């Protein structure tokens, strides 16, 4: 089997797939890309058994064939080649691969393509179309709050509820919760799925910056994303997601509005002086002023700042993990943010003051118990 392909075009497509490949996979052949050539098209597969990605690229070829190609050595070779046509010559009996370029020849050993795991296909699936910019925003707005705790598998992904009036994306790690809702994405009937964090990170990295349409198809066990010439298939997390609506406090009489960037920058400075284990900062709110302070008793470090704000409610002192607040504020883009509070031991809600008419963003963060420093 022989085919000719542009070195940079091939490198671009392989780079999009390379994030799937893990070092020391359970099945050694998964350190390879699967190449299949047919009808002037090269189809490339990469998989870690949980997630698979597929791309297609036009090539000059007269024959059909397939081979598993070592991913790392191929990528490293292409990265260091200038743009030019490269010729792949494959001996399907010995699985040897020869790459010829203007610069020279490179030989490497492939593996039998039939040993590469088969990628699942859609059967009895539902589907919904999502514009790529909206999907990217939904992933970026939620994924940072998904848990890394493998003992709570349901929380290690993003929960998606596709209904006939809206679609809701939810992520939580038990300390914070993000609910991102779009009224411009809907589907007949109601369906829920939990997509693993790794798959969504790969998807976000692969979605092009120019606007395109992403088709999401899913059945009981897998989700299939397709856009441009890339497809991604991932196994869904088959667990029950926590009842997140009940975790959101309904009655929050203390309402604060503050400039988002001012608060974010203040937290970044103050958190330098916080305890490195708890990252605890104290917010003291009274009248139109918020005092932010932190201290690390082990090193006698302390800092405090004052910010002006708009506040309605009782004077309050509440503690939060600064890392969580910083991450949440970083993932908002409104000029100011509303913080709704009920009591020092109840969750606080962060909401953008201004938002797109099609989206609804709610960020919940649990407080931390304040130590009695003054």
Q: What is the mean pLDDT of each run of 10 residues along the chain (374 residues)?
A: 96 95 92 96 96 96 95 96 96 95 94 93 85 95 96 96 95 97 90 96 92 94 94 96 93 96 98 95 96 93 96 96 97 95 95 92 93 53
What pLDDT, on the 0 to 100 scale, is given for residue 130?
94
**Measured distance CA(315)–CA(205) in Å, rounded:** 44
Residue 374 lies in a domain: no
**Measured distance CA(52)–CA(311) in Å, rounded:** 50
* pTM score of the predicted model: 0.91
What pLDDT, on the 0 to 100 scale, is given for residue 355?
85
Residue 372 lies in a domain: no
Domain holding 222, by residue range, is: 126-245
Domain endpoint, select from 115, 136, 164: 115
Q: Strand 289-296 to strand 336-341: parallel, antiparallel, or no bridges (unpaired)?
A: unpaired
Residue 338 lies in a domain: yes
Cβ–Cβ < 8 Å for 281, 299: no
The set of residues, in sequence order, having a beta carbon less than 8 Å from that of 257 and lying 6+ positions away, is: 309, 310, 311, 336, 337, 338, 339, 353
Residue 371 lies in a domain: no
What pLDDT, on the 0 to 100 scale, is given for residue 371?
65
Domain endpoint, select from 115, 145, 171: 115
What pLDDT, on the 0 to 100 scale, is given for residue 159?
98
How far, CA to CA in Å, does 152 sit from each of 237, 239, 263?
11, 9, 32
**Measured distance CA(177)–CA(182) in Å, rounded:** 17
The verdict on 257 and 175 lying in the same domain is: no
The verdict on 238 and 172 lying in the same domain is: yes
The verdict on 87 and 190 lying in the same domain is: no
């Amino acid at each position: 089997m022989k085919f000719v392909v542009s070195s940079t075009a091939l490198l671009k497509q392989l780079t999009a797939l390379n994030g799937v490949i893990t070092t020391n996979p359970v099945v050694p052949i998964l350190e390879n890309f699967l190449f299949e050539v047919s009808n002037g098209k090269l189809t490339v597969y990469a998989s870690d058994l949980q997630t698979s990605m597929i791309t297609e690229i036009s090539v000059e070829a007269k024959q059909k064939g397939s081979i598993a190609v070592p991913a790392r050595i191929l990528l490293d070779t292409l990265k260091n080649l200038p743009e030019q046509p490269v010729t792949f010559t494959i001996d399907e009996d010995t699985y040897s691969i020869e790459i010829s370029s203007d610069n020279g020849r490179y030989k490497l050993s492939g593996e039998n393509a039939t040993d590469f795991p088969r990628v699942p296909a859609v059967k009895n699936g539902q589907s919904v179309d999502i514009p790529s910019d909206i999907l990217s925003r939904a992933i970026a707005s939620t994924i940072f709050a998904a848990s890394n705790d493998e003992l709570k598998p349901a929380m290690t992904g993003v929960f998606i509820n596709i209904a006939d009036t809206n679609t809701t994306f939810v992520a939580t790690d038990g300390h914070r919760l993000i609910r991102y809702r779009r009224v411009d994405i809907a589907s007949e009937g109601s369906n829920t799925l939990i997509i693993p964090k790794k798959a969504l990170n790969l998807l976000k990295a692969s979605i092009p910056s120019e606007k395109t349409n992403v088709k999401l198809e899913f059945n009981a066990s897998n989700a299939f994303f397709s856009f441009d010439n890339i497809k991604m298939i991932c196994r869904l997390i088959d667990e029950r997601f926590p009842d997140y609506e009940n975790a959101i406090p309904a009655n929050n009489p203390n309402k604060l509005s503050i400039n988002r960037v001012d608060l974010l920058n203040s937290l970044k400075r103050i958190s330098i002086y916080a305890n490195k284990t708890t990252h605890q900062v104290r917010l003291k709110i009274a009248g139109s002023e918020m005092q932010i302070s932190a201290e690390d008793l082990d090193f006698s470090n302390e800092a405090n700042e004052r910010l002006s704000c708009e506040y309605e409610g009782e004077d309050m002192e509440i503690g939060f993990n600064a890392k969580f607040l910083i991450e949440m504020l970083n993932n908002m883009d409104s000029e100011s943010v509303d913080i709704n509070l009920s009591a020092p031991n109840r969750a606080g809600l962060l909401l953008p003051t201004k938002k797109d008419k099609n989206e609804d963003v709610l960020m919940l963060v649990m407080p931390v118990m304040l130590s009695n420093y003054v």
